[in-house]
Structure formats: structure tokens, C-alpha cells
């Protein structure tokens, strides 16, 4: 028998004679099994035609008509489910490959119009995939935190800001109040960005974080305290 996939009413099918060869049983025995499956499906009010499409064939030099079935992918799956061991594995592999062959043949465009339609479809699918990818990337950016280099940059900006507010690194205020001021600036930073550590700062918030640290200032009480510490030292001198 010529091993060819058949297409009936745009439904991909395999002739039961080929299925019998794949499974390694006589065609008449497979027909008995299929008819039994049909009865079970019909009794359950399920469409047996979705699995097994009745058909017929003639043998060369013989006008007699013989029954056969065209098995859809569902029908092949049903036959495969009844097989066990190596037979079931081999048949499954064979019928899956055959249906893939048919799908490839159907999808090959033949006319200019088919080529144009396929081109438009590919462009639309590509655009949809790009849109989905952008959504995923945007969602990922909203969850990624800053890397080690960005963390060091925030630390450096914070230190520079503290030194500036205390009047310099060599001032009495820096020696006496720097630890307290560092505690204040990071406390306010975490509250502002609603995080538990500056290391948890989101990549999308990094620029805002840089600007926040550069412009952060202490409350009036701390400002007065800084001025007092620095002025007292100058008076003592």
C-alpha cells in the first residue's frame, strides 16, 4: 500500500490500512477494534467521526469495494492508548511524525496570494510576540534591584552629602555627628522608597535615588546641632 497521509474535508487523517501496518496487526483485526470504539463512543453520545471517518477502497484489477477508516489524530491517540510497551511507543512516534509531515505540506504556500497572506500572518505574529516580550521585559524591570556597582554609587553619593552637610570631613561635627546623620539619611531613604535596605532599590528608581541622596537635608534641630558643635570648637580655639 502507498503510505500517504490523506486529507478528507480538510481534516488530516491516516488510512486504517497504514495504521495496521504501523501497529503490526492485520487490517481486519484493526477494523474490529475501531468498530468497537465507534459503538462505545456513540453510546456515550460522542461523535465517532471526530476519531474514525468511514471510507472505502478498491484493489487494483478488482471492482469490489472494501471498508476502511480514516483515522484523525484523536483516533490514532485512541489506538495508541490501547497499546502497551514497545508497540505503543513506536506507533505513537510514527503517527506523530506522519501528522507533522502533513502539516508541513499544508503550510507551504503555492500561489502569490498564499505567500502574501502568509507574510502578513508572520508579521502579525511577530508583532504580537514583540509586544508580549516588551510586557515581560517591563515587568522584569519593575522587580529587578540595583547591582553592586549602583549600590557603591549610592554609598558614595550619601557619603559626599553627609560630608557637605557637616561642613567637611575634618570638622568636629563630622567626628561627632556623622554616624547619627548617616543613620538619618538611610532611614529617610528607606521610608521614601518603601524598602528595607538601600540594596533593595529598584533599577527603575535608581535615578530618583541618586537625586534624593544629592538633595537630602537634615531637619532644623540637626542643622542647629551641627552649627553648635562646629562653632564651639572655633570658640575654644
Is 3 a residue whose pLDDT tops 50?
no
Find out whether 178 and 166 touch, Cβ atoms under 8 Å: yes
Query: Which of the two residues, 172 and 106, has the higher pLDDT score?
Result: 172
pLDDT of residue 9: 45
Find out whether 91 and 22 touch, Cβ atoms under 8 Å: yes
Q: How far apart are CA 158 and CA 185, in angstroms?
A: 8
Residue 201's alpha-carbon distances to 7, 147, 157, 162, 229, in angstroms, are 59, 9, 15, 20, 34
Query: Which of the two residues, 59 and 10, has the higher pLDDT score?
Result: 59
Is 8 a residue whose pLDDT tops 80?
no
Q: How far apart are CA 140 and CA 115, in angstroms?
A: 37
For residues 166-182, average pLDDT: 92
pLDDT of residue 67: 93
- For 154-182, letters b (16+ CB in 10 Å) and e give beebbeebbbebbeeeebbbbeebbeebe
pLDDT of residue 64: 87
Which of 16-25, 45-54, 64-73, 95-104 is predicted least confidently? 95-104
pLDDT of residue 2: 43
For the record, the C-alpha cell of 128 comes out as: 504580537
Q: How far apart are CA 74 and CA 151, in angstroms?
A: 57
pTM, 2 dp:
0.43
Which of 41-50, 127-136, 179-188, 220-229 is predicted least confidently? 127-136
Of 11, 33, 30, 12, give the one whose Cα is nearest residue 22. 30
Q: How far apart are CA 218 and CA 226, in angstroms?
A: 10
Amino acid at each position: 500500500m502507498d503510505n500517504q497521509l490523506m486529507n478528507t474535508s480538510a481534516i488530516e487523517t491516516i488510512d486504517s490500512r497504514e495504521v495496521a501496518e504501523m501497529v503490526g496487526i492485520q487490517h481486519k483485526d484493526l477494523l474490529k477494534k475501531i468498530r468497537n470504539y465507534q459503538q462505545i463512543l456513540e453510546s456515550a453520545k460522542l461523535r465517532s467521526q471526530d476519531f474514525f471517518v468511514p471510507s472505502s477502497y478498491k484493489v487494483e484489477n478488482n471492482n469490489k469495494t472494501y471498508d476502511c477508516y480514516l483515522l484523525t489524530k484523536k483516533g490514532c491517540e485512541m489506538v495508541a492508548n490501547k497499546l502497551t510497551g514497545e508497540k505503543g511507543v513506536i506507533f505513537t512516534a510514527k503517527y506523530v511524525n506522519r501528522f507533522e509531515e502533513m502539516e508541513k505540506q499544508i503550510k507551504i504556500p503555492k500561489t502569490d496570494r498564499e505567500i502574501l497572506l502568509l507574510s502578513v500572518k508572520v508579521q502579525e505574529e511577530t508583532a504580537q510576540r514583540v509586544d508580549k516580550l516588551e510586557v515581560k521585559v517591563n515587568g522584569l524591570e519593575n522587580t529587578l534591584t540595583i547591582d553592586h556597582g549602583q549600590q557603591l554609587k549610592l554609598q558614595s553619593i550619601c557619603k559626599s552629602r553627609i560630608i557637605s552637610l557637616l561642613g567637611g570631613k575634618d570638622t568636629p561635627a563630622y567626628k561627632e555627628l556623622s554616624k547619627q546623620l548617616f543613620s538619618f539619611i538611610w532611614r529617610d531613604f528607606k521610608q521614601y522608597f518603601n524598602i528595607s535596605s538601600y540594596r533593595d532599590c529598584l533599577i527603575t528608581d535608581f535615578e530618583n535615588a541618586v537625586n534624593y541622596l544629592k538633595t537630602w537635608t537634615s531637619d532644623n534641630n540637626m542643622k542647629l546641632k551641627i552649627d553648635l558643635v562646629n562653632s564651639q570648637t572655633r570658640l575654644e580655639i
